[in-house]
Structure 1
Amino acid sequence: MRTRTTTALAAAVLLATLTACGTTPDEVTPAAGPKASATPTLTEEQRAEVREAAGLPDEPDAATAAEFIKALDAIDPRIADGKNDKAISRGLNQCSSIKRYPDDRDKLVKLALGRFTIDTRLPEIATPETGGKIVDAVRKHLCPDF
């Protein structure tokens, strides 16, 4: 019984694969209409509205970004680990938490340690002190108005 089921399943998968060969998405779904763009185009104003609704500040300029990375490196160079774009993105996301929980420092520290993956990558420095320094660097450089 098991052999028949496995054989039948394998045949069905093979048939489905062979049937799909040589067709285009338009042939499969002709009534779908024009293809939608994979990424919607937003105006700068719409982008600003989305960022504000998400609690994210504007992207930092090059000088501000460099100062933020320098502040993280002063805490521990392994935090950014040369992945500056990723560190800045995480910092901007931390800003949304700062905006949401401005008076809950313990929560912000915990979120920063997780967001920057300190708790998993660098458990030896996953302390409230390190998290606090990250929160302070984020506030100072990326979202001073929060």
Structure 2
Amino acid sequence: MRTHQAALLSAAAALLALAGCTGGPGADAEPTPAASTPTTPAVTGPGTGPGATQASGIPPEPTGEKRVIYLATLGGIDPEIVNGQDDQAISRGRDQCGAMKDEKDPTKRVAQVEQRFTGPNHPSGFGPTKSALILATVQANICPTY
């Protein structure tokens, strides 16, 4: 058990080091703004909408620089984690935050990540070491207060 905690702490330290190294040439360039499209507000009933999602422990999607850092860090751990499916990687991270709201045991959190984050060549997850790094990435970029 202490080995898993040490691995988690090491992963968190590595993540913090990686978060400071987000750019190469052109990293300071302004992002291209997305085209705005008019939207019609959706009709929601009780227990639906963003407030309900946040109340259930699922935070809002990361945007801007947080989104870029999150996806780049996951890709740095293993390119297959994102595998061109940005929205899926974000959805899995948000779902993990919801699962972590009530689960405080680091070992169980890593096990949850291993089940949640899978890929074509990793149908059973990415293993405990990479899962600990994924967990640290999720916490740092999507739900830092969990």
Q: Greater helix percent: which structure?
A: 1
Mapping of residues 1-146 of structure 1, within 5 Å: 41-42=43-44, 47-101=49-103, 103-117=104-118, 121-122=121-122, 126-146=126-146
CA distance in 1, matches of 2:50, 2:62: 14
What is the Cα deviation at residue 52 of structure 1?
A: 2.1
C-alpha deviation, 1:126, in angstroms = 2.9
Identity in percent? 31
Question: CA, structure 1 residues 52+124, in 2 after alignment: closer, same or farther (shift >3 Å)?
Answer: closer
> Rg larger in 1 or in 2?
1
Aligned residue type for 1:137: T
In the alignment, structure 2 segments of 5+ residues that lack a partner are 1-41
The one-letter code sitting in structure 1 at the alignment partner of 2:108 is: K
Deviation at 1:124, TM superposition (A): 8.9
Determine the C-alpha separation between the residues in 1 that align with 2:121 and 2:97.
22
Deviation, 1:125, is 7.0
Relative to the length of structure 1, the TM-score reads: 0.63
Task: Give, in whole Å, the separation in 2 of the partners of 1:138 and 1:76.
Answer: 14
SS in 1 for 2:79: coil
Please, what TM-score do these two structures have when normalized by structure 2? 0.63
Larger RCO (CA within 8 A; separation ≥ 6): 2
4+ runs deviating over 2 angstroms = 123-126
Give the whole-Å Cα distance in 2 for the aligned partners of 1:125 and 1:97.
17
Shift in CA distance, 56/124, structure 1 to aligned 2, threshold 3 Å: closer
Q: Aligned equivalents of 2:145 and 2:105: distance in 1?
A: 17
Count of residue pairs brought into register by the alignment = 104
- Segments of 5+ residues of structure 1 without an aligned counterpart are 1-39
Work out whether residues 70 and 138 of structure 2, in 8 Å CA contact, stay in contact via their aligned partners in 1: yes
